[in-house]
Amino acid sequence: GEDVEQSLFLSVREGDSSVINCTYTDSSSTYLYWYKQEPGAGLQLLTYIFSNMDMKQDQRLTVLLNKKDKHLSLRIADTQTGDSAIYFCAESWGYQKVTFGIGTKLQVIP
Amino acid sequence: EAQVTQNPRYLITVTGKKLTVTCSQNMNHEYMSWYRQDPGLGLRQIYYSMNVEVTDKGDVPEGYKVSRKEKRNFPLILESPSPNQTSLYFCASSLGQAMSPLHFGNGTRLTVT
């Protein structure tokens, strides 16, 4: 089946780390993505991980993949107010079909 | 500047009045797609196109049409809009290769009364 689940809301204090979690159901997914949506804008790709990787780090962003539990997480270190946005987890089996989660709204408190 | 451009940004219309939302990309992308975003449902794919004259249904195609006569344009057509099509619509494009990120437009907020 094709289902991507995320919690709806996360609130953190500026300077703390944020961890946004996602579970997916299809173990044949090839790529897993994190997209960011700022108010009034479309989605922008933040980072991605290939299904044969466990971890990927890109500056303040760390993606962890637990294939056994079909769990994906995005950690944002030193969270800033500019990180306030909706974060979408997505999975794909190729470029034709990308399934998105419902999005997690991150609120950063100054 | 590389971008996906949708027009209009906001549209209010009445039930049954045909409308078209345009989408254009300047990145020579093969793949284009339409999504609708609704609260609690995330993004759902309406239609996609892998190349000129090649289109296919996504998860929620009912009530929509698309065309891909040129590589850069992928309009979304609502022949007879209904209130349940009130939503935020996004056009996206990609190179159409494995691990090609989607580039999104800024969205069109449609209200059907």
Indicate whether B19 pLDDT > 70. Answer: yes
Q: What is the pLDDT of residue B98?
A: 67
Q: Would you call A95 and B4 a contact, using CB atoms and an 8 Å cutoff?
A: no
Look at A41 and B4 and tell me if their CB atoms are within 8 Å: no
Relative to beta strand A61-66, strand B4-7 is unpaired
pLDDT digits (tens, 9 = 90+) for B55-111: 999 999 999 999 999 999 999 999 999 999 999 999 999 987 767 889 999 999 999
The string of pLDDT tens digits covering residues A6-17 is 989 999 999 999
Q: Look at residue A2 in the predicted model and tell me its pLDDT.
A: 57
CB-CB under 8 Å, B106 with A96: no
Report the C-alpha dihedral over residues A12, A70, B104, B37, rounded to 10 degrees. Answer: -80
pLDDT tier for residue A1 given thresholds of 50, 70 and 90: very low
Angle, vertex CA B40, rays to CA A39 and CA A103, nearest 5: 50
CA distance A14 to chain B (A): 26
- The confidence score (pLDDT) of residue A77 equals 97
Whether chain B has a CB inside 8 Å of the CB on A7: the answer is no
Work out the number of other CB atoms within 10 angstroms of the CB of residue B9: 11
Give me the percent of chain A exceeding a pLDDT of 70.
94
Q: Provide the pairing of β-strand B31-38 with B87-94.
A: antiparallel
Q: What is the pLDDT of residue B40?
A: 85
Percent pLDDT > 90 in chain A is: 62
Flag whether pLDDT at B51 surpasses 80: yes
- The yes-or-no verdict on residue A92 having pLDDT over 90 is no
* Whether the Cβ atoms of residue B73 and residue B22 lie closer than 8 Å to each other: yes
φ/ψ of A82, rounded to 5, equals -70, -10
The reported pLDDT for the residue numbered B70 is: 96
Provide mean pLDDT across the span A43-50: 91
- Would you place residue A50 in the very low, low, confident or very high pLDDT band (cuts 50, 70, 90)? confident
pLDDT value at residue A97: 76
CA distance A27 to A68: 9
Instruction: Please check whether residue A30 touches B, CB under 8 A.
Output: yes
